[in-house]
A and B are shown apart, each in its own frame.
Chain A
């Protein structure tokens, strides 16, 4: 607070007036309230993440059983004379004992005490079906291994990363060139062309899709990554826009100095402008990486018929269709798929939060 320095200076001499203390208390309450509100909202917002994780370590039976408890567990069993018996909660003499049922019957059943199996069987009168089974905590970590194997994760990861990085290099370089052109040079129709460029962000790409698809099919590119990679090599409107915004903040004197030293425009661009624009280039690269990781529609149509090379987004969809009755495996696969992007995000969150990814300007 602005008054704090003065407070400290006088603090020793005279006691703080009552109103100041009140105001400080009020601020503290306000801070606690605001932070509590944010915590509650965050908990609601992230609840599905917890759900996904917990479900991913449940057994299939538990995951699809609406009566099952929230935490991962399975019915407890006891091995007796080479056989597995379910443990049930049996009320005997007013107290509940956890006993293994060895001989179920409609009127009376025989039980064994797991803590004392040598004591022989205990007979309990009543219908055993009315007894609750005892559950023990069981975390099915094996789901991750299963999901990893069933989905062939390494192969999908390879194609996804290949796609992301190959197109990253092409798309970012092309976008940087185009952005520099729009940022620095005056040429006829610049405004119109720039607005057309921006227009391509706004208008649905489906309108150009059918002929592209038909053409790529005719030349035998469908079922390969080529129709996905090649069109991205010409720059992307959103990246161009962000980079142009950034380039415009770089002082022209830099280029003039380079020109005096005899550098041509292209060399100036490479050696003077690009090093200045590293924050923006990093942001756009990250932006592109997440775009590629999520790209769904185009891989879905162009790679149809070649399931061996689909990226994670499409592969996960196929997987969820095949393992519809195993929500635990679907959640495990989803979790595997989100680990890499989220890790990258947590290491680069400064860049995202600086606002450069959304507006092209550093804050």
Chain B
């Protein structure tokens, strides 16, 4: 069970009984609060209060370098939403990347999980280990390695493509890191090593399907493809949903690979100016705390909207088997 399943279940589950509590119930409640107090304190001090403060700061022109703050009302917000083209372009850069990266990585992870779950595969554990290993390569090292592999002159990817008779190497070739239209694909490559977790959880989902279902379908004459389509896929939709939610979360915070490879330059032509890169530049390169806070709140709203939307679509396509 993943946390997205848990949320769905928690929403449907029994509520705490209201009304007068007995002494033993009071004692139990006290203990419960005592145990969760570390998180409660941490949540208040490092999340809730800073969130509120963040909103207040967004109403100020606050430069941390000079430590000067002046109240400007909603100026940061109007500037961000109406006068600053970078807000929307960086949001678009991020979402466009997600529209390409998420389907590709989710599809690859699912197919690899099916492959790694196949009874026809010799050495399944070795393959599972090796397919998961790149996820634990430090992200910075992974980004640097892929950055070199995708180098249009010396990288192996272009050399391999060249073997198929396509002109890839060189100035007229495929310039993965320099061609703005290719950037979403390029960064999908860079991120592909991170699909290990998606593979693992999909694998766990596939293993959780009762074998009786497959056996019954097999006896009824259903082939591999039909069983995949009518049993495996519906049964792992909760896992696919979970991957989608986590994928969107990671997408909105996407920062490390473009920062490691291009800094805050947005090279080429702003195509790597992802939202978090722009946020970092405004808040930490330019020390514009007020504007940064507004950007962060904007991202929060976008994240909230997408999450609510995703959870809302659940009932149309995610299948939760009863009980657990």
Contact with B along A176-204 (1 / 0, CB 8 A): 01101110111111110111111011111
Q: Enumerate chain B residues within 8 angstroms of A327, measured Cβ to Cβ.
A: 148, 151, 154
Residues of B within 8 A of A293 (CB): 138
Cα–Cα, bound, A66→B252 (Å) = 36
Nearest opposing residue in chain A for B256, CB measure:
A296
Inter-chain CA distance A231–B283, complex, in Å, is: 21
Cβ of A349 within 8 Å of any chain B Cβ, yes or no, is yes
Asked whether A195 and B46 contact (CB < 8 A) given A52-B145, A337-B140, the answer is no
B29 pairs with A185, CB closer than 8 A: yes
Interface size class of A (residues with CB under 8 A): 35 or more
- Rounded to whole angstroms, the CA-CA distance of A264 and B173 in the bound complex is 71
B120 CB-CB contact with A under 8 Å = yes
A188 to B263, CA, bound (A): 47
- Is B29 touching A38 in the complex (CB atoms < 8 A)? no
Interface: B118 (CB within 8 A): yes
Report B-chain residues with C-beta under 8 Å of the C-beta of A316.
Answer: 138, 140-141, 144
- A294 partner, pick from B28, B139, B149, B200, beta carbons under 8 A: B139
Q: How far is the CB of B81 from chain A (nearest CB, A)?
A: 17
Complexed CA–CA distance, A358 and B205 (Å):
11
Smallest Cβ-Cβ distance to B151: which chain A residue: A327
Q: Mark B264-283, 1 if CB is under 8 A from A, else 0.
A: 00000000000010011001
A235 and chain B: residue at smallest CB distance: B39
A210 at the interface (CB under 8 A from B): yes
- Give Cα A214–Cα B283 distance, bound, in whole angstroms: 11
CB of B112 within 8 Å of the partner chain: yes
Nearest-CB residue, chain A, relative to B44? A234
A184, A187, A200, A233 — which one has the most chain B CB atoms within 10 A of its CB?
Answer: A187
Mark A237-275 against chain B: 1 for CB-CB distance below 8 A, else 0: 010110001000000000000000000010001000000
- Given A42-B127, A65-B154, A190-B32, decide whether A51 and B122 contact each other with a Cβ distance below 8 A: no
B222 close to chain A: CB less than 8 A = no
Smallest beta-carbon distance B314→chain A, Å: 14
Residues of A within 8 A of B1 (CB): 245, 359-361
Q: In the bound complex, what is the Cα–Cα distance between A359 and B170 (angstroms)?
A: 46
Establish whether residues B28 and A185, one from each chain, have CB atoms under 8 Å apart when the complex forms: yes
Q: Does the CB pair B146–A34 fall under 8 Å?
A: no
Say whether, besides A204-B252, A206-B299, A231-B42, A187 and B33 are in contact (CB < 8 Å).
Answer: yes
Q: Which residues of B contact A211 (CB under 8 A)?
A: 49-50, 53-54, 57, 293
Whole-angstrom distance from the CB of A334 to the nearest CB of chain B? 4
- Count of chain B residues with a beta carbon within 8 Å of a chain A beta carbon: 107
Does A313 interact with chain B (Cβ within 8 Å)?
yes
Q: Which of A190, A201, A208, A335 is within 8 Å of B50, CB to CB? A: A208
Most chain A CB within a 10 A radius of its CB, from B148, B169, B201, B203: B148
Picked from A193, A201, A296, A363, the residue with its CB within 8 Å of the CB of B204 is A363
* 8 A Cβ contacts from B237-285 to A: 245, 249, 252-253, 255-256, 259-260, 263, 276, 279-280, 283-284
Given A34-B118, A363-B204, also A202-B245 (CB < 8 A)? yes
Q: A174-B39, A206-B300 are in contact. Are A188 and B145 (CB under 8 A)?
A: no
* A51 touching B138 in the complex, CB below 8 Å, given contacts A65-B154, A178-B36, A197-B39: no
Enumerate chain A residues within 8 angstroms of B43, measured Cβ to Cβ.
196-197, 200, 234
Does A37 make an interface contact (CB < 8 A)?
yes
Partner of A35, one of B29, B36, B122, B253: B122
Scoring B39, B192, B256, B283 by chain A CB atoms within 10 A of each residue's CB, the highest score goes to: B39
Q: What A residues does B160 contact at CB under 8 A? A: 47
Across the interface, do B118 and A200 meet the contact criterion of CB distance under 8 Å?
no
Q: How far is A245 from B132 in the complex, measured between Cα atoms in Å?
A: 23
A63 within 8 A of B: yes
Is the CB–CB distance between A206 and B201 below 8 Å? Answer: no
The dominant DSSP class at the A interface is helix
> In the complex, what residue of chain B is closest to A354 when comparing beta carbons?
B204
For the complex, is A150 an interface residue (Cβ under 8 Å from B)?
no
Residues of B within 8 A of A19 (CB): none
- Contact between chains at A234 and B57 (CB < 8 Å): no
| Given A349-B129, A357-B200, CB of A191 within 8 Å of CB of B10 | yes
Chain A positions 303 through 344: 1 when the CB is less than 8 Å from some CB of chain B, otherwise 0: 010000000111011001100000100110011011001100
Look across to chain A and name the residue whose beta carbon is closest to the beta carbon of B158: A66
A80 contacts chain B at the CB level, 8 A cutoff = no
Give chain A residues whose Cβ lies under 8 Å from the Cβ of B32. Answer: 181-182, 184-187, 190
For B140, the chain A residues whose CB sits under 8 A away are 294, 296, 312-314, 316-317, 334, 337
- Inter-chain contact A193/B47, CB cutoff 8 Å: no
Q: Is A165 an interface residue (CB 8 A)?
A: no
The answer, yes or no, to whether A31 is at the interface (CB within 8 Å) is yes
Q: Which 7 A-B pairs have the closest CB atoms?
A: A234-B42, A181-B35, A185-B32, A211-B53, A187-B32, A208-B50, A187-B29
A-side interface residues toward B, CB under 8 Å?
27, 30-31, 33-35, 37-38, 41-42, 45-49, 51-52, 55, 63-66, 70, 174, 177-178, 180-182, 184-191, 193-198, 200-215, 217, 231, 233-235, 238, 240-241, 245, 265, 269, 290, 293-294, 296-297, 300-301, 304, 312-314, 316-317, 320-321, 327, 330-331, 334-335, 337-338, 341-342, 345-346, 349, 352-353, 355, 357-361, 363
List 26 A-B residue pairs with CB atoms under 8 Å apart, sorted by A's residue number. Answer: A38-B121, A41-B115, A48-B193, A52-B148, A182-B36, A185-B35, A188-B29, A200-B47, A205-B253, A206-B299, A209-B283, A211-B57, A212-B46, A213-B283, A214-B289, A231-B42, A234-B38, A265-B31, A297-B276, A312-B140, A316-B140, A338-B138, A341-B138, A353-B128, A358-B197, A358-B204
